[in-house]
Amino acid sequence: MTSSEALTQLADPAQGWRQAVLAGLVGHSAEPLNCETPPPLLGGAVTPAGRFFRRNHFPIPDLDAAAWRLEVNGLVRRPVTLSLDELKSAGCESVTAVLECAGNGRTRFSPPAAGEPWGLGAVGNARWTGVPLADVLDKAGLLPGAREVIFRGADSGTVEGSAETIAFERSLDLSRALGSGALLAFAMNDEPLPVRHGFPVRLVVPGQYAVASVKWLTGITVTGQRFGGFFQASHYVYEWQRGGAVVREPVGAIAVRALITAPAAGDELTRGRLRVSGVAWSGAAPVHRVEVSLNGGRWRAADLAGERASRGWQQWELQAQTGAGAQLAIRVRATDRLGRTQPGQPEWNRRGYGGNFIHEVTVRLR
């Protein structure tokens, strides 16, 4: 047991659940805490921490900031153990970035895919502030043979198929660790990171599915091998059925997606002028185009609103007319600068990752 593990308290699951439900989140489980944000609560430039989805595999550790240490070791010239003040003194940067669970949209797959039953709200956008991971690795000095960087969280528990207690661990290959703008973040929307989002320090890897963004970070190990941990090699791997074979591929860049945040499904609107708005993002490149279709009609371009986003989501809106029917079905799809558009039908995979289904909202007209 390391010193930081010995000092771990656990957050109260009943309280975590209550807070989430009061904030309007949809709860899937209290322990571990798994909750998502209904799309109408996702409008806006950033997602307030209170409304941000929560995704956990194990009980939430409530770490003592004064006792917290980050160990950086493995294939480095100068292994170090950093206190929070020492880490913060390494200089800080901020980035607004989307975190999206790789399983977001999973319940739309048919036949059903295995895993947490996420609708479309396991996503949020926040301004993260912290120390660039590349600077910390640079200070430690990578040794020849370094290939991957393993990140360890203070949370642990058992997973299916084994009685052994394991920590939450993930790795990044060196190019992503150094080149993706990853931060060791200690602030979310300019406030200290809440306990449930990784206090005191989490990794944030912009553009990658959020499983990469390890919370309650206590260890960084540089290795010459390929990391084969449970959350790296067993789960969070696409299992595509292609040509009679199963093709495995670890989840990586966040797939392009748009959500309608207003109006909400089931709203009753007055016929005539219509304003549709929402958010859109892609991990591979900034959003280039957002298109809306009304009642299955032609795709028309929405206006990109607010600031042009690079790693965060892009707000968008469309002004139109409702038409005369009793109902209106509104669909939206996004395209990024690499030309990736949301597909009509995302490719099925056993665990239902990357389900960037087109969002459709139906409203009533009067």
Q: Which residues of this chain interact with ligand MTE, rule CB under 6 A? A: 52-58, 99, 101, 153, 155, 168, 197, 210-211, 213-216
Q: Could you tell me if 102 and 211 are in contact, meaning their C-beta atoms sit under 8 angstroms apart?
A: yes
Give, in degrees to the nearest 5, the angle at Cα 8 between 7 and 9.
120
Nearest Cα to Cα of residue 332 among 297, 284, 364: 297
Nearest Cα to Cα of residue 99 among 190, 209, 181, 256: 209
Q: Which is nearer to Mo ion, 88 or 170 (CB)?
A: 170
Tell me the two tokens of residue 8: 């771990």
Beta bridge mates, 151: 170, 220
Q: Which is nearer to ligand MTE, 109 or 168 (CB)?
A: 168
CB 238, min distance to Mo ion, A: 14
Q: Which is nearer to Mo ion, 35 or 363 (CB)?
A: 35
Q: Which is nearer to Mo ion, 51 or 55 (CB)?
A: 55
Give, in degrees to the nearest 5, the angle at Cα 54 between 51 and 58.
155
Interface residues with Mo ion (CB under 5 A) are 55, 101, 211
CB 167, min distance to ligand MTE, A: 8
Residue nearest to ligand MTE (CB): 153
Residue 314's binding partner among ligand MTE, Mo ion, none (Cβ under 5 to 8 angstroms by kind) is none
CB 53, min distance to ligand MTE, A: 5
CB 356, min distance to ligand MTE, A: 15
Q: How far apart (Å, rounded) are the C-alpha atoms in residues 335 and 342? A: 7
Q: How far apart (Å, rounded) are the C-alpha atoms in residues 216 and 202? A: 6
Q: Which long-range contacts (CB under 8 A, 24 or more apart) does 242-251 make?
A: 246/350, 251/102, 251/209, 251/211, 251/353, 251/354
Residue 95's binding partner among Mo ion, ligand MTE, none (Cβ under 5 to 8 angstroms by kind) is none
Q: Which is nearer to Mo ion, 251 or 309 (CB)?
A: 251
Handedness of CA 116, 210, 68, 192 (dihedral sign): negative
Nearest Cα to Cα of residue 27 among 102, 118, 106: 118
Residue 47's binding partner among ligand MTE, Mo ion, none (Cβ under 5 to 8 angstroms by kind) is none
CB 236, min distance to Mo ion, A: 7
Q: How far apart (Å, rounded) are the C-alpha atoms in residues 190 and 127? A: 7
CB 344, min distance to ligand MTE, A: 26
Residue 199's binding partner among Mo ion, ligand MTE, none (Cβ under 5 to 8 angstroms by kind) is none
CB 3, min distance to ligand MTE, A: 18
Residue 57's binding partner among ligand MTE, Mo ion, none (Cβ under 5 to 8 angstroms by kind) is ligand MTE
Q: How far apart (Å, rounded) are the C-alpha atoms in residues 311 and 97? A: 5
Q: Which is nearer to Mo ion, 55 or 331 (CB)?
A: 55
Q: Which is nearer to ligand MTE, 185 or 330 (CB)?
A: 185
Residue 215's binding partner among ligand MTE, Mo ion, none (Cβ under 5 to 8 angstroms by kind) is ligand MTE
Residue 56's binding partner among ligand MTE, Mo ion, none (Cβ under 5 to 8 angstroms by kind) is ligand MTE
